[in-house]
A and B are shown apart, each in its own frame.
Chain A
């Protein structure tokens, strides 16, 4: 008997493709023979736009790539510029504030990943619970930065402003309730037979394949790759914090779920330590060549006024050269490769987006699996199309 495969188009408007991803799947009955992701629907030319902005003006653009954790984008970019400048005088308080905000956005991002993933498999409750806690984190961001999502808060040489007093109180409240909330999610999912059947042994990603595709973050760690930039190449003083890197073995959807849950608990640990040891002091560097002088100095000092005008109109010119700086984002290693020609604007900015590499691995995961499992596998990879297409 002669049989034919069927081509099925999924997306770009499919609700479970996390944005506008289009998958063209070749089906043999219910099995996926071949799968090709098509990307580019959200391309906004962010990398090119960066070439026409001063180093300072690029920061708001980075927010808009991975819109579920803008702080880590800000941070990766700012660290790259600081490396290019050779700026080492970033105060300790600024480092701690950066760590606090980055870990909060990691939790917020994992909550979205968990909530949407579970909802696609039919459990709306966890989605609602997750977004309840995420709302609290966004509230914290609003208190500290003024907005919920497009924060643009991390600045070259420090952060934009000091943490307000009520932020610390709100964060303490959040830290008090959060572990019990993670327990709630686990009660609903971890041993739930329906959840286990939908996720165990599904979307297998062996260690070698994960390495070959250059995966990082929770996806790689769920396959047993012990790789976390916070431990391997510490930045912002992560070496001072006591935390573990959760690892999985199986590399299936369930392992990725377990790793994310464990990471939220570890982030909670880091946050507790950071809040306890939050040092006093300035929140930004005193290097007047790259950091705005304090406002009150403008009314008394001519030099401060000149620096202020120069920074606002021209920005600063780092030395000629190329740098790469990657950090551990919620989705994996997010890095910026900057090329400077000595001018006030970057000559080229290249982003290493973790989501793009996660999308790359889709065919490797889906080939051979059932069409019904495709949703579970895609959701577990946790990518943001805004970052894939930029």
Chain B
């Protein structure tokens, strides 16, 4: 009887010489996989044009109805996207979002992607409703995940 208990104790004792697997977050961080489904981001073409053409497929396929897209016609002098239309309003309520990735799958021009960013915090609830300005990748920055996108349509 004592033998079996000692066997168990020996096993736990051996663990003392093993490296702990604990990660000291936030000092140490795990590398997120390429498919990580975090905060959304709207992509641009290399020339700086927005990818989104305002078709609204993301909002139609969304199981939690958290995406609002209001399209508008592109004017010749003020062109946002290569197609006929662009999204005038693009809003995602990140509180409602369940991060299923359906929007990314449904987007025909690879405009919306889910990034590796998973740390959400803010001082007010309103800040979790992301408008287009915050979703769109900035012009100066190399678009994240650009390597996942196929050739742009002309």
The segment out of A2-10, A263-271, A294-302, A323-331 that lies at the interface is A294-302
Stretch touching chain B among A55-63, A362-370, A378-386: A55-63
In the complex, A58 Cα to B34 Cα: how many Å?
A: 25
From the candidates B1, B33, B34, B108, name the one contacting A298 in the complex (CB within 8 A). B108
Within 8 A of A (CB), among B131-151: 150-151
A152 nearest CB neighbor, chain B only: B100
Q: How far is the CA of A240 from the CA of B153 in the complex (A)?
A: 44
Q: Is A317 an interface residue (CB 8 A)?
A: no
Interchain CA distance A125-B16 in the complex, whole Å: 13
Which of A99-107, A139-147, A209-217, A243-251 binds B? A139-147
- Cβ of A295: which chain B residues have Cβ within 8 Å of it? 108, 110, 150
Query: Does B75 interact with chain A (Cβ within 8 Å)?
Result: no
Main secondary structure of the interface of A (DSSP, over half): helix
A188 at the interface (CB under 8 A from B): yes
Give chain B residues whose Cβ lies under 8 Å from the Cβ of A164: 33-35
**Contact B101–A312 (Cβ < 8 Å):** no
Query: B129 near A: Cβ within 8 Å?
Result: no
Query: Size of chain B's interface in residues, with CB distance under 8 A?
Result: 32
* A142 contact set on B, CB distance < 8 A: 32-33, 35-36
Q: Is the interface of B mostly helix, strand, loop or mixed?
A: loop
Minimum CB–CB distance from A305 to chain B (whole Å) comes to 7
Task: State whether A312 touches B36 (Cβ < 8 A).
Answer: no
Partner pick for B12 among A57, A125, A192, A312, CB 8 A cutoff: A125
Is residue B37 contacting chain A, with contact meaning CB distance below 8 A? yes
Please name all residues of chain A whose beta carbon is closer than 8 Å to the beta carbon of B61 when the two chains form the complex: 56-57, 312-313
- Pair count A-B, CB < 8 A: 86
- Complex formed: what's the CA distance from A188 to B60 in Å? 52
Task: Tell me if A280 is interfacial: C-beta within 8 Å of chain B.
Answer: no
User: B8 touching A60 by the CB < 8 A rule?
Assistant: no
Report which of B1, B33, B63, B114 forms a contact with A61, defined as CB distance below 8 A.
Answer: B63
Interface hub of B7, B55, B99, B108 (most chain A Cβ within 10 A): B108
Could you list 18 A-B pairs, sorted by A, with CB under 8 Å? Answer: A53-B63, A57-B61, A57-B63, A61-B63, A125-B12, A132-B21, A142-B36, A146-B101, A160-B105, A164-B35, A184-B11, A187-B11, A192-B5, A192-B8, A193-B4, A295-B150, A308-B106, A313-B57
Chain A residues close to B by CB (< 8 Å)? 53, 56-61, 125, 132, 135, 142-147, 150, 152, 160-161, 164, 166, 184, 187-188, 191-194, 292, 295-296, 298-299, 305, 308-309, 312-313
Given contacts A191-B7, A295-B108, A312-B61, 9 further A-B contacts (CB under 8 A): A60-B102, A61-B63, A142-B33, A146-B101, A147-B36, A147-B37, A152-B102, A192-B8, A305-B108
Interface residues of B (CB under 8 A from A): 1, 4-5, 7-8, 11-12, 21, 32-37, 55, 57, 60-61, 63, 98-102, 105-106, 108, 110, 114, 150-151, 153
